[in-house]
């Protein structure tokens, strides 16, 4: 609910919100279930091997989507190279490695609950860096999500 409120503060509670929010919530639930599954059944896997096993199907699906829905063309610019480097090294390799380390060493429930803070963090970064506004409904959503995560991770 908190994530939905944060997003609705950005886009409004219009008819367009549903189609935008559903994939994000499905992804959030999917990564949560995947994290719990990984902790239960794959806790001892080698982090490098596990990453490769996760990246290969993702690359195949992405390549298929590109082939089916768009023309594959790259315009090499400094901004594109920076964005690509960020996606590959920071998000793919760095974040997934950190996620796997957290799953390996901690409680899967605590790790999965942290995913619910990502939209809040993104909204705060957009506010601080890009001067975007944070409506009251977004702030209420942040409080709700932080409260929920606190209830999960407290001892």
Summarize pLDDT for 119-151 with one digit per residue, the tens.
788 888 888 988 888 888 888 888 998 998 888
pLDDT value at position 37?
85
**Which residues have C-beta within 8 Å of that of residue 116, sequence separation ≥ 6?**
2, 3, 28, 145, 148, 149
Per the structure, the complete domain to which residue 57 belongs is given by: 2-153
**Which residues have C-beta within 8 Å of that of residue 69, sequence separation ≥ 6?**
none
* pLDDT more than 70, % of the chain: 90
User: Tokens at residue 143, please?
Assistant: 């409080």
As for how many domains the chain has, the answer is 1
Residue in this structure with the two tokens 């901004």, named with its chain if needed: 79
In the predicted model, what is the mean pLDDT of residues 5-14?
65
Confidence of residue 104 (pLDDT cuts 50, 70, 90): confident
Span 11-51, pLDDT tens digits:
665 545 667 677 777 887 888 888 788 878 877 778 788 78
Using alpha carbons, select from 2, 4, 10 the residue that is nearest to residue 123.
10
User: Tokens at residue 18, please?
Assistant: 């549903």
pLDDT value at position 16?
59
């Amino acid at each position: 609910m908190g994530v939905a409120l944060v997003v609705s503060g950005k886009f409004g509670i219009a008819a367009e919100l549903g189609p935008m929010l559903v994939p994000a919530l499905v992804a959030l639930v999917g990564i949560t279930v995947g994290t719990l599954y990984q902790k239960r059944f794959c806790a001892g896997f080698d982090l490098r091997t596990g990453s490769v096993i996760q990246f290969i199907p993702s690359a195949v699906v992405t390549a298929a989507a590109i082939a089916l829905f768009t023309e594959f063309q790259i315009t090499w610019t400094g901004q594109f190279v920076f964005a690509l480097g960020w996606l590959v090294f920071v998000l793919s390799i760095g974040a997934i490695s950190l996620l796997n380390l957290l799953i390996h060493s901690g409680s899967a429930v605590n790790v999965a609950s942290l995913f619910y803070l990502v939209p809040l963090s993104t909204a705060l970064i957009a506010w601080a860096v890009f001067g975007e506004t944070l409506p009251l409904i977004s702030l209420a959503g942040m409080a709700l999500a932080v409260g929920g995560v606190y209830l999960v991770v407290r001892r």
